[in-house]
């Protein structure tokens, strides 16, 4: 059959935000891992949509590994940035990391799409995706297309909407 276009994606965000859980849910059910553990360094994962074949660098969000992120900026064609919508205390840390990546020389002035998942929307303390968007001042991102989706990675809710948007940006 037709070979799908290959896309390299970086999955970023603080530790415990749900990056690995999201990527795992995007794989076919027979390829999904049952137990998800904190990522050490990074892990390379693959999933397909109707027209694209995604290779995802699922990075660890732990502080000691965040210096790895920038080494993968040059080769990525899209970014998925995951936020724990219930972790209000660390929202400012997530914003700092986001601002650092947005001004990095390897990403600055590149029109690469950024998909935000305001994840863990099922938790009682979770704020809305609109609130997350304000807390991260996403409205200031002018040089890249971006989109934010509320998600519940445990149930898989909101993931398809996000990936559909990403697919539209890439074609």
* Catalytic residue ranges: 62
Please state the closest distance from residue 2 (CB atom) to ligand GTP, in A.
Answer: 32
Which of 9, 127, 149, 153 forms a contact with ligand GTP (CB under 6 A)? 153
Enumerate residues 6+ apart whose C-beta is below 8 A from 84.
Answer: 13, 14, 16, 17, 18, 90, 119, 120
Q: Is the dihedral of CA 22, 102, 171, 131 positive or negative?
A: positive
160 in contact with ligand GTP (CB under 6 A):
no
60 in contact with ligand GTP (CB under 6 A):
yes
Q: 118 pairs with which residues across the strands?
A: 83, 150
Which of 5, 33, 38, 96 forms a contact with ligand GTP (CB under 6 A)? 38
Q: At 146, is the secondary structure helix, strand, or coil?
A: strand
Q: Contacts with Mg ion in 1-60 (CB under 5 A)?
A: 19-20, 39
18 in contact with ligand GTP (CB under 6 A):
yes
Q: Using CB under 5 A, list all residues that contact Mg ion.
A: 19-20, 39
């Amino acid at each position: 059959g037709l070979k799908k276009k290959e896309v390299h994606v970086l999955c970023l965000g603080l530790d415990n935000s749900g990056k690995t859980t999201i990527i795992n849910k995007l794989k076919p059910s027979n390829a999904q891992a049952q137990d998800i553990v904190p990522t050490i360094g990074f892990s390379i994962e693959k999933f397909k949509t109707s027209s694209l074949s995604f290779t995802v660098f699922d990075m660890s969000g732990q502080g000691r590994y965040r210096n790895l992120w920038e080494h993968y900026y040059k080769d990525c064609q899209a970014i998925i940035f995951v936020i724990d919508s219930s972790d209000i205390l660390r929202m400012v840390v997530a914003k700092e990391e986001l601002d650092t990546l947005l001004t990095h020389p390897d990403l600055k002035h590149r029109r690469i799409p950024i998909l935000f998942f305001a994840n863990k929307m099922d938790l009682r303390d979770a704020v809305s995706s609109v609130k997350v968007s304000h807390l991260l001042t996403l409205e200031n991102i002018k040089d890249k297309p971006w989109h934010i989706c509320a998600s519940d990675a445990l149930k898989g809710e909101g993931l398809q909407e996000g990936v559909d948007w990403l697919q539209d940006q890439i074609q």
